[in-house]
Copies of this chain bind each other. A is one copy, B any other.
Amino acid sequence: MSLKHAILILLESEPGSGYDLFKRFKDGLGYFWNAKHQQVYLELKKLSEAGWLAFEAQTQDTRPDKKNYRLTPAGHAELLRWLGEPVQPNTINDALLVKLYAGAHTSPDNLREEMQRHIAVHRKTLDSLLSIERDYHGLPAEQRQALRMPYLTLRRGILGEQSWLQWAEEVEHALQDTTPASTPAGK
User: Chain B contacts of A2 at CB under 8 A?
Assistant: 95, 98
Taking the complex as formed, is A67 at the interface, i.e. its CB lies under 8 A from any CB of chain B? Answer: no
Q: How far is the CA of A146 from the CA of B96 in the complex (A)?
A: 19
Interface size on A, residues (CB 8 A): 63
Nearest CB in chain B: distance from A159 CB, A: 5
CB contact list, A106-158 vs B, under 8 A = 106, 110, 114, 117-118, 121-122, 146, 148-150, 152-153, 155-156
Report copies per complex: 2
Taking the complex as formed, is A182 at the interface, i.e. its CB lies under 8 A from any CB of chain B? Answer: no
Taking the complex as formed, is A73 at the interface, i.e. its CB lies under 8 A from any CB of chain B? Answer: no
On whether the beta carbons of A32 and B92 are closer than 8 Å, the reply is: yes
Taking the complex as formed, is A64 at the interface, i.e. its CB lies under 8 A from any CB of chain B? Answer: no
Q: Could you list 11 further interchain pairs (A-B, Cβ under 8 angstroms) beyond the known A32-B94, A86-B117?
A: A1-B95, A2-B95, A5-B95, A5-B98, A33-B92, A34-B93, A87-B95, A101-B150, A101-B153, A103-B149, A155-B171
Could you pull out 22 A-B pairs where Cβ atoms are within 8 angstroms? A3-B93, A9-B102, A12-B105, A29-B98, A32-B92, A32-B94, A32-B98, A33-B98, A34-B91, A87-B95, A87-B96, A89-B118, A90-B95, A90-B96, A97-B153, A100-B152, A104-B148, A155-B167, A155-B170, A155-B171, A156-B167, A160-B163
